[in-house]
Amino acid sequence: MQNSGKEFEIKLLFPKEKLPSINQFIIDRGGLKRQHLQASYIDTQDFLLANSGVALRLRKEGRKWIQTLKAPTLNSLERLEHNIEIQDSSKGVPPWSLYHHGEHPAGKALIKLLSKLPHDSLSIRYSTDIWRRKALIKTRTGQIEYSLDVGLIKAINSNGQETTLSIQELEIELIQGHHDDVLNHAKNFIKRYKAIIDTRSKSELGYLLANELQATPPTKSKITQLNNQKSDTEIIQSLVNSCLAQILPNLSVLNNETSEYEEYLHQLRIGLRRLKTALKYIALKKVYISESGMNALSSLFQKLGEYRDNEYLKEKLNPSLKASQGPQVNLLNQNQLPHPKNFISNLEFQLLMVELISLGHKERIDPKEEISNLSDPISLKKATTKLMDRKNISIKDDVQNFHLLSEENIHKLRKKMKFLRYSLEFFNAYCNPKRYTEYFKSINLALNYLGNYNDISVAIEKIAPKIYENPQMWFALGWLRSEQTQTKKLALKSLKQFTQLKKIW
């Protein structure tokens, strides 16, 4: 059931031409009237709140003013929320007070954030002018709310000029019941209206507008906190949500067609690789995503490979060849690659995201399993450490026979190393904290060399057939073969150093 004081909603964007149909959809379900919402967002001069994921808002709803505080949780689709009505009859935006939220968890987070700042350091930084059409929908377990928002975000830029951003979005919020009620309705909208998931709040968009930015910085992975999980269900949820916390924000930026997308795509790839690792651990409890979801994931990885190969040519190979006065290699121009939005916004991948969000919110993964196994807090831990042991032994065997490994098996060794590294991020709570940093640095060093070796090998594979078409490719091929030999030696040295370390779990 929906927890008190927490907001769970999913926001969807959709093609402009779908607006009339969606508008009629809401009207048909009782949303006959539109509500005019004018909100002011309060922050410090340097946007301390926005940069911390916190939003403090005063919104006029009809004749009354509502002060709202939202603060982040570990789940990117769930936020702490506290609302109070402001009693003020004066014209204009009424005064705000942090102390209205003092006893709420979101208020405590805000007061801690602003502990060293005076109250008057806050001011209105951006505003919204929205027309909202709402409809309440009964579900099998409770009630959800549709909110169709159309309007503007306004901000004053560094030149003192007002800038605006058009808004057209649909929010589906859980009022009472289970999270899957929201997600099932979202799934229908994705199928019917080509909608896509977006995690960027209006406060985040206002911050970007005020600072004349295209997007917030790329979201990187964070160490998963498993210290307080009491069941395997909670551990599984934490693993999935840890991956989604990296995947969804980068996905939202890419879906917005930002032009400088390389680092967002890189972080999305990492998030998806971490997800593949997490899914192997989840499978230990016989919990799987659907076949269509796995196909969508595999298809996406295949497409992402072209961007990875092109990045190596653009960022590493060609600058090195230029420094050596060699010819430039241009197997596939970046402009020939479509914007990633073309495939990450497709139906299959969006449905996979909904499936994963659902898995991250399941109250029980499997009723039978919950009764027999998931009540034991160490059952998954035991299975986890056994799997890490097997990977570690396999890595040591490969390193001992490294000189005999084919290119394909060296690539498989790299995958095993990645699996172990992401496992350390997920299960750091099971590791020796005194030796964690040294062990993690060692595995990262080996992976860097193996990654470079793989990039060089792929480049050689692509360039070799073209040397007879373009003799200048001979220089690049020779340079690459020399780098390949040297990098292989460095990779083996770092691998030997890593395998001499005692395991830390």
CA 345 to mean position of chain CA atoms: 14
Give the pLDDT confidence of 246-293 residue by residue, as tens digits: 999 999 999 998 888 999 999 999 999 999 999 999 999 999 999 999
List, for residues 194-206, the tens digit of each pLDDT value. Answer: 999 999 999 999 9
* pLDDT at 365 (0 to 100): 57
pLDDT at 335: 54
C-alpha separations of 157 from 50, 161, 203, 217, 448 in Å: 16, 6, 15, 19, 41
CA separation for the pair 444, 221 (Å, rounded) = 14
Percentage of the chain modeled with pLDDT above 70: 93
Fold classification of 6-213 (topology level)? Hypothetical Protein Pfu-838710-001 (2.40.320)
Nearest to 50 by CA among 217, 168, 282, 246: 217
DSSP string, 292-345: HHHHHHHHHHHHHHHHHHHHHIIIIIHHHHHHTTPPP--SS-GGGSPPTHHHHT
Over the Cα atoms of the chain, what is R_g?
Answer: 26
What are the extents of the domains in the chain?
Answer: 6-213, 217-321+343-367, 378-499
H or E stretch covering 8: strand 6-13
SS3 state at 356: helix
Confidence band, pLDDT 50/70/90 cuts, at residue 401: very high
